[in-house]
Amino acid sequence: MFIGTIHAEASTFEDYPAAIKKALDFLRSKDFTKVENGRIELEADNKMYAIVQRYETRDMAKGRPETHKKYIDIQYIADGQEYMGWCPFSPDLKVSEAYNPEKDVAFYEKLVPESNVVLAAGSFAVLYPDDVHRPCVDVEGEKSNVTKVVVKISLDLL
């Protein structure tokens, strides 16, 4: 996982893979607080797409750590804030819901070991298949209304 801010100079992203740079350019191009919820195609054949969503953060105990095998996630907070829990994939993780290839997701009981970072408006996290993550969590027990854009990038583009 790596994190950053969308407001950084474009040159900050020069060394990123082309697909990630394209996704970050897309995220920099719009005010997503004014964009309707839903899916936006960025590449044909489900190679890259964005999902705009709005929700209220939840208690950490209700969050489920997850991984994906086919896509990289870029999770961008357009408004609000949330904790993003994270750990590297390891044999210490206990699967709570086996990998579903249709939904490209597996869920785990907890993060082992656990790290958390606050993603505030303008922040993003890039999550690879080995990045176990638990999004959408309250920051210090405080609810937040979040506008988030998740860009899904097929590993085929890297």
pLDDT of 5-22, one tens digit each? 998 877 788 889 999 999
pLDDT confidence of 99, banded at 50, 70, 90? very high
The CA radius of gyration of the chain, in Å to the nearest whole number, is: 15
pTM: 0.95
* Domain spans, the chain: 2-157
The whole-number pLDDT of residue 130 equals: 96
Residue 153's DSSP bridge partners are 48, 72
CATH superfamily ID and name for 2-157: YhcH/YjgK/YiaL (2.60.120.370)
Handedness of CA 5, 115, 155, 42 (dihedral sign): negative
Residue 77's DSSP bridge partners are 148
Residue with tokens 């899916």: 39
The whole-number pLDDT of residue 127 equals: 98
